[in-house]
Amino acid sequence: MKYAKKSPWILHYDGSSCNGCDIEVLACLNPLFDIERFGAINTGNPKHADILLITGAINEQNISVVKQLYEQMPNPKAVVAVGVCAATGGIFKDCYNMIGGVGEAIPVDVYVPGCASRPEAIIDGVVKALDKIK
């Protein structure tokens, strides 16, 4: 299977999650799951990122941040929504300040199921996002 000509750089943003999915994202970086075998590099700069990986729902306070991160990323880019909260708002969807899933703020390319999403599913979502950016 052939991927992008360069290593995909991933920007991880925690919307408003319970941190369950965040812990699983960090597990992707350990030697057991090793997302770096696909050439993926974790970055903190949206101007260098190819994939925006978001955990948690979108609320009134972070919607502008999510939109700004997305707009700062160069094209081609992909968005991966990790977990049920990022997909629909999850258990937080009825809170007074919640807008909903990531798709309410920016276009999403890949949805990763789960609560919390397993590292294998997150890596699968990143690999699917690679098809969009190649």
Q: List for the chain the helix, strand, coil content (%; round to 5).
A: 35, 20, 45
pTM of the predicted protein model: 0.91
The answer to whether residues 43 and 18 touch, using CB atoms and an 8 Å cutoff, is no
> What does the pLDDT look like over 18-63, one tens digit per residue?
899 999 999 998 889 988 888 888 999 999 999 999 999 999 999 9
CB proximity list for 81: less than 8 A, separation 6 or greater: 54, 87, 101, 102, 103, 108, 110, 111, 112
Q: How far is CA 71 from CA 57, 81, 133, in A?
A: 19, 16, 16
Residues 68-110 pLDDT 10s: 999 999 999 999 999 999 999 998 889 999 999 999 999 999 9
Q: Taking residues 5-12, what's their average pLDDT?
A: 86
Residues 121 and 104: their CA atoms lie apart, in Å, by 22
Supply φ then ψ for residue 128, to 5 degrees. Answer: -65, -35
CA distances from 17 to 2, 31, 52, 95, 123 (A): 33, 25, 16, 13, 19
Domains of the chain, earliest start first: 4-132 (3.40.50.12280)
